[in-house]
A and B are shown apart, each in its own frame.
Chain A
Amino acid sequence: MTKAAELAKMGEVLTNSQIGGRRNIVINGGMNVAQRSSSAVTGIGASDGYFTCDRWNFNTNGNSAGRLTMSQASDGPSGFANCLKLECTTADTSIAAAERFFIEQKLEGQDVQQLKKGTSDAEKVTISFYVKGHDSATYTVGLYEGTSGRKIAATFPVTTSWVRQTVTFDGDTSGVIPDDNTAQLHLRFYLHAGSNYTSGTLGTSWNADGNTTQISSDGNSFFESTSATFFLTGVQLEVGSVATPFEHASSFGEQLSLCQRYFYKWINTGLDDNFNFYSPYSPAQVSAGLPNSSAICPMTFPVTMRASPTMATTISGGTLNRQTSTPFGFVAQMGTTSTGTHYPTQYLADAEL
């Protein structure tokens, strides 16, 4: 790049306010946080879910026979300690029309208002990420906006070495994104697709053409062989037409807090750090006259969650009677307890999109 071009790019970055403040809209783009599991999760492919790195969802359609293992791997380009790693364990070379899977991060509407989508001032957005695989391959990356069903996509290459890929999309003057806490903008990496999604010409400008223009027909399928791998890290989505350097969080704790808005896990590490029911428990604020044999326990989450979370609570030696949650905390009640007994408890709180 010439000096003049470099200066022009710098000017553009300054104009777009891409220096200073938080640039990266993606959470956990460096794949540092993996509260659900930092080790490999096998047999993924039959249903959607969040399995390893926080905020990164596996989404599937069409009952592919393909299966994969997902893990948070200690690998990455210079400056990155972690990545999301996929390994194909069952191939699927007979791709039915309705098959599709992608890795995605769903973003709340209130977190993407700076894109000015649906207005005449709509901003360009740039996606950058580091990828590598087991062989040369081509996949599709795209944005999908949930309320209007509008989308845009581009292909990207993968080689056996870490390479930073960048894609810039024009702003979209149609489809205003609601300013709320629901899933509005979806950043997707499409890795397997049948003709229902590939039969049209890839929609490289914003469109509402439906599924057939969603994914490139020239792309590879991750499920093409059991030697297939896909590594991803350093994912950044930012306003503007320039891919600025990946914005690392100031600390692991900061990134963890951002993730805990969507998922929180209280586990027993083996030390004396259990969350306990103790029977009977009758704090002043509980005036309903609980039976003496019951125990009730309120807990406050470390950060306000996106919505009231789904709770999965495990009580050692006891049975949960009922529980309710809000974005701020939850209350759980055991129906039958023995006086003077502690009941070590662990829980998961899931408010993901």
Chain B
Amino acid sequence: MDYDKITVKYYKEDDGSNSTKALKVIYNETVYSVPTDPANRHYAAILEWAKIDGNTIAEAD
């Protein structure tokens, strides 16, 4: 996954709150669900990605 080309969004729970269990990642027109597990390599990379100015996790659609 090329992290310069990803879009990251929250999932919504049924009550409308942002899910804390997983993130929605769009890359190359494919949707990935990345769990918020520090041992997941994609989540670890997204945490680093989010530290870069301009990179934010967007609200759910």
Contact = CB atoms under 8 A, between A and B. Distances in A.
Contacts of B33: 310-313, 320, 322-325, 330
Contact of B37 (A49, A307, A312, A321): A307
B9 to A, nearest CB: 10
B52 interface: no
A351 interface: yes
Contacts of B40: 307-310, 351
B39 A322 contact: no
Contacts of A352: 41
Interface in A307-352: 307-313, 320-326, 330, 350-352
A47 interface: yes
Contacts, number: 63
A22 B32 CA distance: 35
Nearest to A348: B32
A46 interface: yes
Nearest to A289: B14
Interface in B33-50: 33-35, 37, 39-43
A353 B14 contact: no
Contact of B35 (A46, A320, A325): A325
Given A307-B37, A307-B39, A310-B42, A324 B21 contact: yes
A307 to B, nearest CB: 4
Interface string B15-40: 00001011011000011111101011
Contacts of B43: 310
A114 interface: no
Contacts of A320: 31, 33
B35 A324 contact: yes
A322 B11 contact: yes
Contact of B24 (A49, A290, A306, A322): A322
Nearest to B36: A308
A323 B22 contact: yes
Contacts of A181: 39
A352 B44 CA distance: 12
Given A322-B12, A353-B41, A312 B35 contact: no
Contacts of A182: 39
Nearest to B5: A47
A322 B40 CA distance: 18
Interface in A257-303: 288, 290
B39 A312 contact: no
Contacts of A313: 31, 33
Given A46-B2, A325-B22, A310 B32 contact: yes
30 contacts: A46-B2, A49-B1, A182-B39, A288-B14, A290-B14, A307-B37, A308-B35, A309-B40, A310-B33, A310-B34, A310-B35, A310-B40, A310-B43, A312-B30, A313-B33, A320-B31, A321-B11, A322-B12, A322-B13, A322-B19, A322-B24, A323-B33, A324-B33, A324-B35, A325-B22, A325-B33, A325-B35, A350-B42, A351-B40, A353-B41
Interface of B: 1-2, 11-14, 19, 21-22, 24-25, 30-35, 37, 39-43
Q: What are the 4 tightest A-B residue pairs by CB atom distance, in nearest-first order?
A: A307-B39, A308-B35, A308-B37, A322-B11
